[in-house]
Amino acid sequence: MGENGGIGKTLANLPTWLYFGLIILAMGYITLYPLGFPVPITDQTRNVYNAIEALQPGDIILMDQGYGAGTIAFHEPGFVVVFRHAMDKGAKIVIVSTGVESPMLLERALEKIQPEAKGYEYGVDWVHLGYVAGGEPSYASILGDINGLFTDDWEGTSTSSLPLMKELSAPTNEKIDLVYIMTAGGDVVEGWIRQSAVRYDHTLITQVNEMMVPTILPYYPINCDGIMNGGVGAAEYEVLSGYAGEAVKLSDMMTMGGLVVLVFLILGNIGYFMTKGGGS
């Protein structure tokens, strides 16, 4: 017991600074010297891609850009690549934000997307309506009469002066061809599923952080047609669409960070069984 207990105890109680330090070192090294790990494509991400690919010029996407600063590392690359793909298809884009931080983060993403450079005119081809409070009842209002809820856009321009908003007259749900939800809140996707996919049979795709995927999986693929699984999903989408961006660069770091965690999990378990199992 003595020797095993000693090693076991050490393994079971490795200091957290060592754990975090090695993750930081491993990910930092990979940032400078990427290994180019393969990015296999899952059906869930492929379905998101196919939903955008199926859009016809003039179709309207309702995007809930609801991510916050905490998840910007993977939500932003996902948003950027989907927006670019949608522009390639000639779809019109209506952006609402159900997260309080989201509108100011959108400005950052738009600097990367540059819709004007693609000939996308604000108010005609895309609009940004800004933050809306209220949770699920507000989603129902958006799909009922979006102009009744948003009298001004994010910049304070009257929505009645924007041609795209005139196309969305009540009932708005009949003019929406695709709903795309980006969020870090599980209840947000479930709310949109109830109000959009279940009530109006909309095609609904989502990009959520990895820890939310188990919450959304029961709805896939009946009510949620595609799931982009956090940073990995964004990297898959970049590979599929040919827009190599930040997510592909990050995917190597995620893999390396995951491997370090796996090693510590194994060491911790060995330590546990040496002290509680075989050792006692």
Partner 1 sequence: MADVIGLWISAILTIMITTLAWKETPVSKTAEHIYLGVMTANTLVQAWGNINSVGIQKIMSGQIMYIIPVVLGIMAYARYSKENFWLYRYPIALVVGIGVGTAMSGLVGGKVLDQIKGSFWSLNVPGDIGASVNNLIMVITLVSAMIYFIFTIKAARGPLMTQLSAFGRYAMMAAFGYSFANTIATRINQYAGRIAFLMLEWLQLG
Applying CB under 8 A, the residues found at the interface with partner 1 are 16-17, 20-21, 23-24, 27-28, 31-32, 70-74, 100-101, 103-104, 130-133, 135-137, 140, 149-152, 190-191, 193-195, 197-199, 209-214, 218-219, 221-223, 230-232, 246, 249-250, 253-254, 257-258, 261
CB of 58 to partner 1, least distance (A): 28
Nearer to partner 1, 86 or 110 (CB): 110
Q: Which is nearer to partner 1, 163 or 221 (CB)?
A: 221
Residue closer to partner 1 by CB (options 6, 20) is: 20
Q: 11: which residues sit within 8 A by CB, 6+ positions away? A: 267, 268, 270, 271, 274
Residue 32 or 35: the one with the smaller Cβ distance to partner 1 is 32
Bond from prior residue into 171 cis (ω within 30 degrees of 0): yes
Nearest distance from residue 98's CB to partner 1, in Å? Answer: 11
Q: Give the nearest distance from C-beta 161 to partner 1 in angstroms.
A: 15
Radius of gyration of the chain (CA): 22
Least distance from partner 1 to the Cβ atom of residue 27, Å: 5
Could you tell me the smallest distance in angstroms from the CB atom of residue 101 to partner 1?
A: 6
How far apart are CB 20 and partner 1 at their closest, in Å?
A: 3
Cα–Cα dist 229/235, whole Å: 9
Q: Which is nearer to partner 1, 100 or 170 (CB)?
A: 100
Query: Which of residues 119 and 133 has its CB atom nearest to partner 1 in the complex?
Result: 133
